[in-house]
Structure 1
Amino acid sequence: MLPLLDHNASIAATRAPLQTGCVLTLPAQCCRSLCIALVALFALTCFFATTPSHAKSKNRTSQRASHNLPNPDKLLAGIYMDLATGQLRAALNKADKLVEAYPKFHLAHLVRGDLLMMHAHPIRTFGAAPNHTSTNKLEELRAEAMVRLKTLHYKPDPNLYPRAFLQLREGHRYVVLVDTKKSRLFVYKNRGDKLSLLNHYYISQGKLGVHKTREGDQKTPIGIYRITSRIPGAKLPDFYGTGALPLNYPNDWEKVLGRGGSGIWLHGMPSESFSRPPLASDGCVALTNPDMADLASTLDIYKTLVVISDDVEMVNETVLKKDRVFANSLLEKWRRDMEYGNRTYLLKHYSTQFRSNTNEDLSTWFDKQHPAHAKSTSTYTVRNLSLLRYPGYENMIAAAFNLDVRHGSVTSQTRRFQLWTKEGAHWKIVYENTIKDFL
């Protein structure tokens, strides 16, 4: 348990009557100090205090309503607004309710302690209240506050879309985008050729950042994954909170690259904590338990794609459509050359750096897949196409599709996965495999 604040002393101080004549509206100088010292604190998960209608979560409301708990986002937003107008008593009342409802929310206790001190004098630093027994934990909370502060005024633009998702097959009802720079997880609903934002959550990631390469490096991987199962909290140690959604790390491409490790999950928080600092996990993506419950109740297991990126780019519909058309043109040229059956033309689509899932080089793999004596008299059809920009690379496109090959009255069906990368002025396939995964 994090010994951040003497909670008993704090509670006693709160219940004690205020001194007669105590001024509860703050002078301008105090408010300025307050904004410098505490604005990060009150940002927290409420930075969407006025959430656009398209991003509201019915799940979140129902989850907390069933437990008769106040919404922490609204309380934190209220504290921030009360302080902005110098209403210290109102802010303290909300902080009391927040701590009472979420006694393990250590950051809320820190807020409350600072509010109590402000009855006596202005404070100029976050965590100014006494009895903080761990300097390291205080610094972690400061880091969390600053991460949340950076997105305080961020409002999702309904006319911008994540560039990672160029095209999604019909079966992908939802997709998840983890923005490690913002320490936030975004859930989008697939509405044909457009995505709409459903919800967003603060997350904690690997202690040592991102770009996981080996077991135990305490980093969060960057890549494209799918949710493989749902594990309820009752079947897990307390550390994972309300439950977990395991990811298929390492994916096939990462295995080719020799990346190690396993057990990368989306999961909740241990009962001793409501929230964790932005860099606190061993590589997993951790959410608060209420948020994790919302997430798990929304997503389709096995059919939900999860993109974890440290360089999220939002673009308008024109740019997205242009990217989509270009990616489709690459695949169409490949399909035509497959159908034509000319090995020389087909080979030009592949990179000399190509590696198969069994680590074969291009020459070995290509000869097996396309024997020199084979002649094509078949018709090739591509359908159920998904196109994504692969994170962590400046120019890489992932394509997953059904390939129907019709020869006479017989049609064979496979699902293919390709990675296209830009080499000089040309795009080449660096990886290809037949897959069973829902991608």
Structure 2
Amino acid sequence: MGRGLATALLATSLLLVAAATIADNVVDGAADEPLVRAEIHPEDRLSAALAAMRDGRYAVATQRLAQLLSIEPNFRLAQLLYAQALALRSGGRVDPPPANEDDPRLGALLAEYRNRSDALRALPAPGLVPSLLMKLSDQIGNVLVVDLGKGRAYLIDNNGSGQYVVRNLYAGIGRNGYGKRNAGDLRTPVGIYRVTGWMDDDQLPTLYGAGALPLSYPNSWDRSLGRTGSGIWLHGVPTDTYVRAPRSSEGCVTFSNNDLLSLRSQLRVDSTPVILAEQLDWVPAAQLDAEREPLLKAIEDWRSQGEITLSDLSLFAYPGESGLVLAQFVQNQTGDNLASGARTDQYWRRQDDGAWKIVREMNR
């Protein structure tokens, strides 16, 4: 890391101002929050250091950042925050940055900082779930939901007592943002996908870090809209850095290598839903009960018209689409038209009069 970049960031008051406004749910008492796991994640350590800086406890901040860097020495943002904390601890001045500062590395780090601080201030409260998760089958153990606008990924466990966020991770996306339409547009798609396999690091260039989890883009909905492209993955980062800039991939979603390996151990190939959304709306789980009832009735009316039984039903409000829901289930039929046990993706659209209508269906 060049001295010019470190000096420029050290002189940037944005970091100090943002650190001073981190919400109370990331201070020392954050261990009471369900989003913090028993082990100390590097981002939890960063949050604790920022809370110490907010309170003017620069000795504590430097200590915590030093501990973080002993674990993740290539965490570049932490390196520069450590330099700033040292300067503040010694009473150094924080002057405005040079007016002609245009170092792209500085811009990337500041963007990363803004993403992190904004997302930490907006952590979902306990008991809230993404409104996209209208209903999850008991056969789905967890769901990975990515808020592309905030650059955060949430691993949500699904069990008999409800849905709970168990991991809250920094995620990078395409350099041109999200809303993929065409091959080569450098955007991350918006939609509902699943992991199709695993690629080891020895199969990939160093850019992809610890490996990659390919996604099922384009799905049937993408193809119906004429969207093109391929090779959308969840993948790691080069070993000389902890994470990549918020917008730096060719359309993939990037994680730190340790986070990627952790996800690999928990996401089930061809089973775990991976939802890439423009933004997430967090609501009480009970609110979804009333919202899904009319659709469940429409599905039951459709099912009862034929010799069909359904199992493992899940409902997802489709991201980026108004009034569109993806119903996934196992379909059994006694006739000859459909093989027993077919896994089905069925898209329902709410009409202007409130009625629900099937607009697309395919077997997986």
Does the TM-score normalized on the shorter chain lie above 0.5? yes
- Alignment match of 1:215 (pick from 180, 183, 190): 183
Within the candidate set 137, 141, 153, 1:185 is matched to: 153
Structure 1 residue 197 corresponds to structure 2 residue 142: no
Aligned to 2:68: 98
In the alignment, which residue of structure 2 is the partner of 1:347? Answer: none
1:142 equivalenced with 2:110 (yes/no): yes
Which letter does structure 1 place at the counterpart of 2:206? D
**Corresponding residue to 2:222 among 219, 232, 254:** 254
Q: Is the 8 A contact 2:349 2:356 kept in 1?
A: yes
Aligned partners of 1:323, 1:95: CA distance in 2, in Å? 45
Measure the CA separation in 1 of the matches of 2:118 and 2:309: 47
Distance 1:138 1:389, change over 3 A: same
Equivalence for 1:428:
357
SS of the residue 2:221 aligns to: helix
> How much has 1:109 moved relative to structure 2?
2.1
In structure 1, which of residues 244, 249, 252 is the aligned counterpart of residue 212 of structure 2?
244
Partner of 2:94: 123
Alignment of 1:305 with 2:266, yes or no, is: no
Structure 2 CA distance, aligned partners of 1:404 and 1:322?
27
Deviation (angstroms), 1:311: 2.8
Shift of 1:167: 1.6
Q: What letter is aligned with 1:265? A: W
Amino acid at match of 1:54: P
SS in 1 for 2:328: strand
Q: Secondary structure at the match of 1:151?
A: helix
Is the contact between residue 327 and residue 387 of structure 1 (CA under 8 Å) also seen in structure 2?
A: no
Over 3 Å counting, the alpha-carbon distance change for 1:283 and 1:84 in structure 2 is same
Deviation at 1:82, TM superposition (A): 3.0
User: Identity of counterpart residues, as a percentage?
Assistant: 31
> 1:151-177 CA deviation, whole Å, 9 max, x = no partner?
233343222221111122232111110
Q: Distance in 2 between matches of 1:54 and 1:154?
A: 14
Task: Say what the alpha-carbon RMSD is for the aligned residues.
Answer: 3.1
> What is the rounded CA distance, in whole Å, between the counterparts of 2:43 and 2:177 in structure 1?
26
Query: What corresponds to 1:40 in structure 2?
Result: 18
Unaligned runs of 5+ in 2: none
Equivalent residue of 1:40, what SS? Answer: helix
Q: What CA distance in whole angstroms lies between the structure 1 residues aligned with 2:285 and 2:73?
A: 44
Rounded Cα–Cα distance in structure 2 between residues aligned with 1:95 and 1:193? 37
Q: CA deviation at 1:227?
A: 0.7
Q: Give the equivalent residue in structure 2 for 1:84.
A: 54
1:54 aligns with 2:30: no
Residue 95 of structure 1: CA displacement? 3.2
1:203 to partner: Cα distance: 0.6
* Structure 1 unmatched ranges of 5 or more: 11-32, 62-69, 340-378
1:124 Cα shift?
4.4
TM-score after normalising by structure 2? 0.86
User: CA–CA distance in 2 between the matches of 1:98 and 1:386?
Assistant: 40
Secondary structure of the 1:335 match is: helix
Three-state SS of the structure 2 residue aligned to 1:266 is: strand
Shift of 1:71: 4.9
Q: What is the Cα deviation at residue 428 of structure 1?
A: 1.9
Per-residue deviation, residues 339-360 of structure 1 (Å, max 9, x unmatched): 2xxxxxxxxxxxxxxxxxxxxx
Contact 2:45 2:65 in 1 (8 A): yes
Distance in 2, Cα, partners of 1:411 & 1:81: 58
TM-fit CA distance, 1:236:
2.3
Give the SS at the match of 1:54: coil
The list of structure 1 runs, each at least 4 consecutive aligned residues, that deviate by more than 6 angstroms after superposition, is none
State the Cα deviation string for residues 43-90 of structure 1 (Å, max 9, x = none): 69x9586144533446xx3xxxxxxxx853344234323323333333
Distance 2:51 2:343 in 1: 53
Displacement of 1:231 after TM fit? 2.1
> Equivalent residue for 2:82?
112
Per the TM alignment, residue 386 of structure 1 is displaced from its structure 2 partner at its CA by 1.5
Decide whether aligned partners of structure 1 residues 134 and 92 sit closer, same or farther in structure 2, where only a CA change above 3 A counts: farther
Q: CA deviation at 1:116?
A: 4.0
CA 76–383 in structure 1, closer or farther in 2 if over 3 Å, else same: closer
1:267 matched to 2:235? The reply is yes
Which whole-Å CA distance do the structure 1 matches of 2:126 and 2:51 have between them?
26
